[in-house]
Amino acid sequence: MASSRTDDFAGLRLRVPRVGSYRLAWLAQWLCLCTVGPVAAGGLSIPTYCVECQGSGNAAAPARADSPATVFANPAGIARLTGTRAELGLHAARIDVQLDRGSASGPLGAPVAGSLTSDAGALVWPLNLYLTHSGGGPWSLGLGLTTPFGLTTDYDRGWVGRYHALRSELKTLDLGLALAYRLSDRVSLGAGIDLVYARAELSHAVDLGSLLTARLGRPVPGLGITPGNPAIDGYTRLEGDDWGLGWALGLLLEPVDGTRIGLSYRSKVDLDLEGSTLTRVPELVAEVTAGQVATSNRDASSRLTLPATLRLGLWQSLGSDWRLLLGAQWTGWHSFDGTRVRFADGGPDLTEPHDWNDVWRYSLGLEYRYSDRLTLRGGLEYDESPLPRVNRSLRVVGRDQRWISLGLSFRATRSLTWDLAYSHVATDDYRVDLGEVTTPWASGGRLPGNRLTGEVSSSADILGLGLRLAY
């Protein structure tokens, strides 16, 4: 049987079970750790590893092999580049995620106080940097720095869905080294190794108002103890990071002049995110519970797997001025089958299963060589969502995406080329009906979770500017 103690506070006799208090802090931290994967995955995750590629909808990226960005898209393409070359790209991505027509009710049936809508949009700045060198022989070398995964959503502290999600951010950095070998004029092979860094920050609120009201058997408005009262909400945040290793293989074929076929594979990367979890509790709550529910820090770790990808591309010349670009990309989200959290203080491991699906991205692009200096391009993409349709989320967009992109390249001098690209990403609106699990767990199953319904809309606009140097 769980132990308990009785305390006096402002004339109230409060009976606070110890197990319930411990669970509250424990689960709040666990929820943050278990949502690291969805932040990195699908949804509005943006493939911005190349400004030139973005302008044509990333179509035929593994077969393009005309810029140093092939270090990431297909290491075999380095073999087609002569001399020493460098590429720098910077992207500004404005992500909009908003819940409209929201309705939220607490575990005791009362409406949750707060704004019914919240714009979780954010501005992020993915970048990439590449360097390649060929001495004229069959071997070529490439170095790359890019941000293959990354997403930020940030809901208002006072919105009605705060018990489901507040801030979600994941940043990654991929440092790659690649080698390519030219077997013949028409066949080249490539391989690479990647050092990947990931840093995550996730947060949400905890409905202490409902938990204390249930403990007391009634609300106490004079102390602010009312269901869903944002003034006495708890707040939990995770910050964790880790380094991991991955590898890549590539093949580039040119069966006939004017036709290139590229195939590349990048392995999954396993990371053990270790960090600090902060659970912040208002002073009033700490006093009422005699310190059993109080602000605390705990050390914990969780495995995060960034998925493997397989890319296929076709670059086809249509005469001297036009080029047709086709591409497909498979992403192996089946490796994200669950999350296990380990606590440094010896607490039992906690697990959360996932049922994510492997997905495909399809792309079609066209390029037009307007003059010796100016090339115009455009592209369309269709990107499947890895989330099961029955498992919607506020942290990750749960519908397929459609991309439309435009771009150009301007050769300013013999050695300097500028790239410009713009993409708009559209996602169908979808309904959510979510129940949070913190309240049921902290109350020992005596209370249901906060329920949130509404319609989620999302979109993204991405502007890319790049430069390429050839020596």
Least confident of 24-28, 89-93, 261-265, 347-351: 24-28
pLDDT at 46: 65
Q: Report phi then psi at 273, rounded to 5.
A: -70, 120
Distance CA 210, CA 447 (A): 9
The predicted-structure confidence for 273-320, as pLDDT tens digits, reads as follows 888 877 888 887 887 777 777 787 878 888 888 889 999 999 999 998
Residues 257 and 185: beta-carbon distance below 8 Å: no
pLDDT at 436: 80
What value does the mean pLDDT take over residues 333-346?
Answer: 73
Distance CA 202, CA 239 (A): 7
Distance CA 414, CA 1 (A): 79
Q: Sorting pLDDT into bands at 50, 70 and 90, what band is 1?
A: very low
Domain limits, the chain: 8-470
Name which residue leads in pLDDT, 470 or 31: 470
pLDDT at 350: 59
The residue among 467, 357, 344 whose CA lies nearest residue 409 is 467
Neighbours of 447 (CB within 10 A): 20
What value does the mean pLDDT take over residues 31-55?
Answer: 59
Residues 421 and 375: beta-carbon distance below 8 Å: no
The predicted-structure confidence for 424-442, as pLDDT tens digits, reads as follows 998 888 888 888 877 776 7
pLDDT at 18 over 60: no
* DSSP letter string, 307-349: PPEEEEEEEEEETTTEEEEEEEEEE-GGG--EEEEEETT-PPP
DSSP 115: B
pLDDT at 42 over 50: no
What value does the mean pLDDT take over residues 68-92?
Answer: 96
Q: Report phi then psi at 144, rounded to 5.
A: -145, 150
Q: Report phi then psi at 99, rounded to 5.
A: -105, 125
Name which residue leads in pLDDT, 465 or 170: 465
CATH number for region 8-470: 2.40.160.60
**pTM value surpassing 0.85:** no
